[in-house]
């Protein structure tokens, strides 16, 4: 299995040393501060990768870590919030990880990731919660060869769409998208996805309008074929950018966040917006770091992420035409995911470095107002 603090397959990068500076866009107004409250996890050593809520049910998934002598064992982690604390559930498999989550109702929750394979590398994992227990969904026979994992899941009618990424012994990458419904798997065409080496996110607007994003860019499916979406990013020939999250609010209101390479800062947070006609890059903090998720809080986009070199959290809000850093949760380390409930922003990831093994972290926050309101 890969290291717990990074999702996706490792990319060769050069580490930039020296002073890491943080700057903001001149003239951009600072956003209202966010008041944060840490919530108890009691989940042991772990990393939380995402969180989602629907029908009053809130879940978070990730990876549980167990020290076994000099070895570190990885176990899938799925936990729900009972209003006072996070409660662990027993996964459908003993070893592996969970990377993405779909909550449709209290009795219909899906999670994807990978488990230890019988021979070479990992094998993709899709499991479903029925309100009482998790069960594993059998993989299709045409699963990608090599070490494979399911990396994204989204609703698709009564079924789900899942993204798959695989790498063989020579390091060659493959990406696929499959639909699972009524107990049957259907593969979408693969042509047009070759530029995405690792698929981070899927968003289905309709069966004839599906968006995919990840390391290498964005693609759009029209019901027949995928087409690469050209984005306004100047790229070095030997580096790739990553779109970690897509937010489709309407056909003319689509947001994307992730990271882009930087000669000075190694990688910088990246934010883009589509108005129905063209994509525009939005100014983001000029520093080492990357965005992993985006939610709308009080109608304003708020992105979360972190600095991979220091494991510090990043929270930035769109203000004055640019994403400006705002208050981060106290005690937080790298933030991998978020969701919004009413006026409340939930952020998950790891606690600030302080031990030999990562500890899970969850906090909930609201904009400062004259009359604070609880976020439970």
Identify whether 41 is part of a domain. no
The half-sphere exposure of 25 on its side-chain side, counting CA atoms within 13 A, is: 18
Number of independent structural domains in the chain: 1
314-358, pLDDT tens digit by residue? 999 999 999 999 999 999 999 999 999 999 999 999 999 887 789
Question: Does 9 fall in a domain?
Answer: no
Report whether 196 contacts 213 (CB < 8 A): yes
Q: Which of 27-36, 105-114, 221-230 has the lowest mean pLDDT?
A: 27-36
CA distance 324 to 312: 16
pLDDT digits (tens, 9 = 90+) for 63-73: 999 888 778 88
- State the chain's mean pLDDT as an integer: 88
In this prediction, residue 120 carries a pLDDT of 61
Residue with tokens 């042991």: 44
pLDDT in tens, 257-301: 999 998 889 899 999 999 999 999 999 999 999 999 999 999 999
Q: What is the pLDDT of residues 111-156, one digit of tens each?
A: 999 998 766 678 999 999 999 999 999 999 888 888 899 999 999 9
pLDDT at 166 over 80: yes
Is residue 276 included in any domain, yes or no? yes
| CA 277 – CA 280 distance, rounded (Å) | 10
Q: Can you tell me which residue has the tokens 């042509």?
A: 191
Q: Are 32 and 367 a contacting pair, CB within 8 Å?
A: yes
H or E stretch covering 206? strand 198-206
Alpha-carbon 64 to chain mean position: 17
Angle, CA of 295, 296 and 299, to the nearest 5°: 175
Do the domain assignments include residue 15? Answer: no
Q: Which domain holds residue 212?
A: 46-367
196, 219 in Cβ contact below 8 A?
A: yes
Q: Which long-range contacts (CB under 8 A, 24 or more apart) does 7-12 make?
A: 7/49, 7/99, 7/151, 7/200, 7/336, 8/151, 8/165, 8/198, 8/200, 8/214, 8/215, 8/242, 9/165, 9/167, 9/173, 9/197, 9/198, 9/215, 11/215, 11/240
Reply yes or no on whether the pLDDT at 4 is more than 80: no
Q: Which residues contact 258 (CB under 8 A, 6 or more apart)?
A: 200, 213, 241, 242, 243, 244, 245, 270, 290, 291, 292
Q: Quick check: is 29 in a domain?
A: no
Q: Give the per-residue pLDDT at 13.
A: 29
DSSP 144: P
At residue 300, the pLDDT reads: 95
CATH of the domain at 103: 2.130.10.10
Inside any domain, residue 295: yes
- What span, in angstroms and rounded, lies between the C-alpha atoms of 334 and 348? 9
Among 332, 299, 335, 305, CA closest to 318: 299
Q: Give the per-residue pLDDT at 354.
A: 81
Q: Are strands 57-68 and 360-367 parallel, antiparallel or unpaired?
A: unpaired
pLDDT computed for residue 263 by the predictor? 85
Asked if residue 24 belongs to a domain, the reply is no
Token digits for 302? Answer: 């708020």
Asked whether residue 193 is domain-assigned, the answer is yes
Q: What is the model's pLDDT at position 2? A: 44
CB within 8 Å of 163: residues ≥ 6 apart: 150, 151, 152, 153, 175, 176, 177, 199, 200, 201, 202, 212, 214
Quote the pTM value: 0.90
Taking residue 151's Cβ as centre, other Cβ atoms within 10 Å add up to 25
């Amino acid at each position: 299995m890969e290291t717990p603090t990074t999702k996706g397959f490792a990319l060769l990068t050069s580490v930039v040393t020296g002073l890491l500076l943080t700057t903001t866009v001149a003239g951009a107004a600072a956003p209202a501060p966010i008041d944060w409250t840490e919530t108890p996890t009691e989940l042991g050593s772990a990393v939380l990768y995402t969180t989602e809520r629907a029908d009053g049910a809130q879940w978070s998934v990730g990876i549980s870590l167990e020290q076994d002598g000099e070895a570190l064992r990885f176990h899938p982690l799925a936990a729900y919030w009972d209003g006072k604390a996070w409660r662990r559930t027993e996964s459908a498999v003993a070893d592996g990880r969970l990377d993405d989550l779909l909550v449709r109702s209290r009795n219909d929750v899906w999670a994807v990731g990978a488990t230890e394979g019988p021979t070479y590398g990992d094998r993709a994992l899709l499991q479903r919660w029925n309100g009482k227990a998790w069960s594993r969904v059998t993989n299709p026979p045409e699963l990608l060869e090599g070490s494979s994992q399911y990396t994204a899941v989204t609703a698709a009618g009564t079924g789900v769409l899942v993204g798959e990424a695989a790498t063989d012994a020579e390091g060659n990458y493959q990406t696929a998208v499959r639909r699972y419904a009524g107990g049957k798997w259907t593969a979408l065409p693969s042509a047009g996805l070759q530029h995405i080496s690792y698929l981070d996110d899927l968003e289905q607007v309709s069966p004839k309008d599906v968006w995919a994003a990840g390391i290498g860019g964005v693609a759009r499916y029209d019901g027949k074929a995928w087409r690469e979406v050209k984005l306004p990013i100047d790229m070095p020939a030997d580096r790739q950018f990553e779109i970690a999250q897509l937010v489709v609010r309407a056909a003319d209101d689509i947001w994307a966040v992730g990271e882009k390479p930087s000669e000075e800062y190694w990688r910088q947070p990246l934010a883009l917006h589509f108005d129905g006609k063209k994509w525009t890059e939005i100014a983001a903090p000029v520093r080492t770091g990357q965005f992993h998720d985006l939610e709308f809080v009080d109608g304003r986009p708020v992105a979360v992420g972190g600095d991979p070199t220091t494991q510090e959290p990043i929270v930035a809000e769109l203000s004055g035409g640019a994403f400006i850093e705002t208050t981060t949760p106290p005690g937080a380390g790298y933030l991998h995911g978020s969701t919004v409930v009413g006026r409340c922003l939930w952020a998950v990831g790891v606690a600030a470095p302080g031990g030999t093994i990562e500890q899970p972290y969850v906090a909930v926050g609201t904009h400062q107002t004259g009359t604070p309101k609880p976020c439970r």
